[in-house]
């Protein structure tokens, strides 16, 4: 059973360029830190384009094979000064009234359509 961590946020007004930069840093971090990211099955970022309240949210989806892998991943990056710097920048671009993290588990994966 896979575990999906969804981090959702709205970008604070005037912080759009900084948001783009920090999202790129988050996505690129895995390439430069394979020892931590060997526990991540996938990492994706989406920007909402139509619908929703409020509109224009971002979501970072991190997939792990298990809760244990997710816990081990966060133990590894928690001590990394580069990650902490990226995380502070990320929190600085978020609209503080709208950010949330959700944990989802896959359901009926054997019936999914994937290519």
Burial zone of 34 (CB within 10 Å; 0-12 exposed, 13-18 middle, 19+ buried): exposed
Sheet bearing 94-105, strands edge to edge:
40-47, 58-64, 3-11, 94-105
Is residue 14 within 8 A of residue 93, CB to CB? The reply is no
- Quick: pLDDT tens for 30-47: 888 888 889 999 999 999
pLDDT in tens, the chain (115 residues): 899 999 999 999 999 999 999 999 999 998 888 888 899 999 999 999 887 777 789 999 999 999 999 999 999 998 889 999 999 999 999 988 888 999 999 889 889 898 8
User: Residue 56 and residue 54: Cα distance in Å, rounded?
Assistant: 7
Q: Is 113 helix (H, G, I), strand (E, B) or coil?
A: coil
Q: Is the dihedral of CA 19, 84, 39, 10 positive or negative?
A: negative
- pTM of this prediction? 0.89
CA dihedral 39, 111, 8, 65 (to 10 degrees): -10
């Amino acid at each position: 059973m896979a575990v999906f961590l969804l981090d959702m946020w709205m970008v604070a007004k005037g912080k759009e360029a900084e948001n783009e930069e920090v999202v790129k840093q988050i996505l690129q971090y895995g390439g430069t830190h394979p020892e931590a990211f060997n526990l991540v099955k996938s990492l994706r970022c989406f920007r909402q384009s139509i619908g929703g309240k409020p509109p224009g949210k971002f979501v970072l989806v991190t997939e792990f094979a298990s809760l244990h892998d997710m816990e081990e991943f966060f133990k590894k990056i928690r001590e990394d000064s580069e990650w902490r710097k990226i995380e502070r920048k990320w929190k600085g671009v978020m609209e503080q009234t709208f950010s949330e993290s959700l944990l989802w588990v896959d359901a009926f994966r054997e019936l999914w359509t994937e290519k």
